[in-house]
Amino acid sequence: MKKSYLFLAIALIATLVLGACAQPGTPQEPADEGIVINLWTKEGETDGGLQYVQALADAYTAQNPNVTFVVVNKDVETLREDFQTASLADAPPELLWTVSDHLGPFTAADLIQPVDSLVDLGAYVPSAVDAVKDPSGATWGVPISNGNHLMYLYNKDLQPVPPANTDELIAMGADLIDAGITPLVVNQTEPFFFVPWLGGFETEVFAADGVTPTLDTPEMVAALQFVHDIKFNDGLMPLESDGDVADTMFKEGQAAAIINGDWSLGTYKELFGDSLGVAPIPEVVGGTWPAPYTSGVFFMIPKDLSGPTLDAVVDFMVFATNLENQVEMVEKLTRLPALAAALDDPIITADPILAGSAEQMTYGTPMPTVLEMRCVWDALKPEMQAVFNDTKSATDAAAAAQAAAVACIANQ
């Protein structure tokens, strides 16, 4: 009896071990030939971005049948977290389609490789390439689209002419309030929507070295005071509004203007048609034009990628950013292209919305992508919100933000 049990046990063990070994690696890999590229993209379905990426991938596979793609959408924060974790387990995806400020954490943790030797960066718009350069001059991403910047979007039916400067903003606002319309809505919870004013008051978050925070300057205090005053003294903005509220109020015609980014252009264009106006954020009287952060969307490559897979990836990147595809992207996603040649295409020069977007970009400034920027965002957020809620003075808020940023950077 004992022997047959033993035999049974050995047989079972053997089968299971053989079965486990015989399984193909991960179920995603096909047989030997053929390259699979896992492409993680931050593009979602809402604005058609994910569909666009998938279409690009399919078009490439049609021309190169031995290269297939697995396109996965992850939202920006998730993409960053998961890429870090996957790299830790030595299994990162082959290609990333993501935002420029990911370069900070990814280069600090040494997870991606520079692209200077892989593609011809001269073909792209310089501001786009600069957005992903580090202080040593290495470029860490291949640009796909340029912009991601905030603009002054207004409803021509409610406000036929946009204000050119902040005095006009307040004056026009008074008339709109009398007519029962909210003059301006904006996402009051994210500091991203506040920083353009810093440029208007002629200050920046970092000193010249690009890593030391300068959040406690008189100009910063002036900027915080300005947004506080137009909200509470002039009543231009509602008491509480996040991105959704601002968006809804603008869409429903309760707000005359919204400060929002180029990602919203597609939806607004569809809704308002010719009534949508695009203008630069009004110039600060006594200062200059507000400077929204420009960044863009970029390809990034994991550090240890090499061999035929790397070649396929590079080839795809060049394909995705060729003239034909860039023009199509402008058409489909209403974003400014990264390829210099595409900027001259009539599709941009003839469209007032895109022209307005391009005009705002000329006043923009590249968003810092260093790791320390994270600390700046985290430090600014509660302080800016405190000013918006009238719970802290502008002076105190600026000082607190500086202290928090310095402490955070020390801990990184």
Partner 1 sequence: MSSTTLQSTKPKRKRSFFRSGKGDSPFKRLVIHILLIIACVGSLYPILRIFAISLRPGDRLLSTDLSLIPPDATFESYRIILLEKPFLTWIWNSLMITVATALLGVVLAASAAYAFSRWKFPGRGAGLIFLMATQMIPASMLMIPLYILAIRLNLVGTYRGLVLAYCVTSIPFSTWILKGYYDTIPIDLEEAARIDGATQLQTFLKIMIPLSTPALAITFLFNFTSAWNEYMLARIILGSKEELMTWPLGLQRLQGQFQTQWGQFSAASIIVTVPVVLLFLYSSKYLLSGLTLGGVKG
Partner 2 sequence: MITPQTMLVSLKEVGSTVLYLLAAAALIEVILYLVLVKWLKYKYAFAFMLMAPAIVGLFFLIIYPLLWELRLSFTNMSLRAFRDPDFIGLTNYIKVFTEPVLKQKYFFPLLGQTVVWTVINIFFHVTGGLALAMLLNRNMKGRGIYRTILILPWAIPQVIAVLAWRGEFNYTYGYFNVLLQAIGLQPIQWMTNPTANFAAMCITNIWLGIPFMMVTLLGGLQSINSEYYEAAEMDGASGWQKFKSITYPLLQPVLTPAVLLGTFWTFNNFNVPFFINQNELESSDILVTGLFRAAFQYNRYGFAAAFAFVIFALLLIFTIFYMRYTKTLKGDAQS
Q: Using CB under 8 A, list all residues that contact partner 1.
A: 23, 25-28, 38, 42, 44-47, 70, 72-73, 75-76, 78, 82, 85-86, 88-91, 243-245, 247-248, 251-252, 261, 263-264, 267
Stretch that binds partner 2, among 32-40, 133-141, 309-317, 402-410 (CB under 8 A): 402-410
The amino acid occupying position 214 is: T
When asked if residue 2 is in the footprint of partner 2 (CB under 8 A), the reply is yes
When asked if residue 229 is in the footprint of partner 2 (CB under 8 A), the reply is no
Q: What residues have CB less than 8 Å from 297, skipping those under 6 apart? A: 42, 43, 97, 98, 99, 100, 143, 144, 145, 148, 335
CB of 214 to partner 1, least distance (A): 28
Stretch that binds partner 2, among 33-41, 160-168, 214-222, 400-408 (CB under 8 A): 400-408
End-to-end C-alpha distance for the chain, whole angstroms:
65
| Rounded CA separation 111/88 (Å) | 9
Query: Smaller CB distance to partner 2: residue 332 or 374?
Result: 374
Instruction: Find the radius of gyration of the CA atoms of the chain.
Output: 25
Query: Smaller CB distance to partner 2: residue 19 or 346?
Result: 19
Q: What residues have CB less than 8 Å from 196, skipping those under 6 apart? A: 150, 259, 281, 290, 291, 292, 293
When asked if residue 6 is in the footprint of partner 2 (CB under 8 A), the reply is yes
When asked if residue 91 is in the footprint of partner 2 (CB under 8 A), the reply is no
CB of 340 to partner 1, least distance (A): 27
How many CA atoms, within 13 angstroms, populate the side-chain half-sphere of residue 155? 23
Stretch that binds partner 2, among 148-156, 203-211, 287-295, 377-385 (CB under 8 A): 377-385
Q: In the 8-state DSSP scheme, what is residue 124? A: B
CB of 46 to partner 2, least distance (A): 16
Binding site partner of 241, from partner 1, partner 2, none, Cβ cut-off 5-8 A by kind: partner 2
Q: In Å, what is the CA distance from 289 to each residue of 37, 196, 207, 325, 362? A: 43, 9, 20, 33, 10
When asked if residue 239 is in the footprint of partner 2 (CB under 8 A), the reply is yes
The only residue of 72, 238, 319, 366 in contact with partner 2, by rule CB under 8 A: 238
Report the candidate in 273, 291, 270, 280 with the shortest Cα–Cα distance to residue 333.
270
Query: Smaller CB distance to partner 2: residue 15 or 288?
Result: 15
CB of 302 to partner 1, least distance (A): 14
Binding site partner of 240, from partner 1, partner 2, none, Cβ cut-off 5-8 A by kind: partner 2
Total residues binding partner 2 (CB under 8 A)? 41
DSSP assignment of 145-164: EEE--EEEEEETTT-SS--S
CB of 125 to partner 2, least distance (A): 29
DSSP assignment of 202-258: T--SB-TTSSSB--SSHHHHHHHHHHHHHHHTS--S-SS--HHHHHHHHHTTSEEEE
| Rounded CA separation 212/99 (Å) | 23
Query: Smaller CB distance to partner 2: residue 105 or 162?
Result: 105
| Rounded CA separation 21/281 (Å) | 62
How many angstroms from the chain centroid is the CA of residue 134? 18
Query: Smaller CB distance to partner 2: residue 110 or 344?
Result: 110
Give, as ranges, the residues between 93 and 112 that touch partner 2 (CB under 8 A): 105, 108-111
The only residue of 100, 148, 241, 357 in contact with partner 2, by rule CB under 8 A: 241
| Rounded CA separation 169/262 (Å) | 21
The only residue of 54, 84, 165, 214 in contact with partner 2, by rule CB under 8 A: 84
Q: What residues have CB less than 8 Å from 322, skipping those under 6 apart? A: 339
Please report, as ranges, the residues that interact with partner 2 according to CB under 8 A: 2, 5-6, 8-9, 12-13, 16, 77, 81, 84, 87-88, 105, 108-111, 189, 238-242, 245, 248-249, 371, 374, 378-379, 381-382, 385, 388-389, 404, 407-408, 411-412
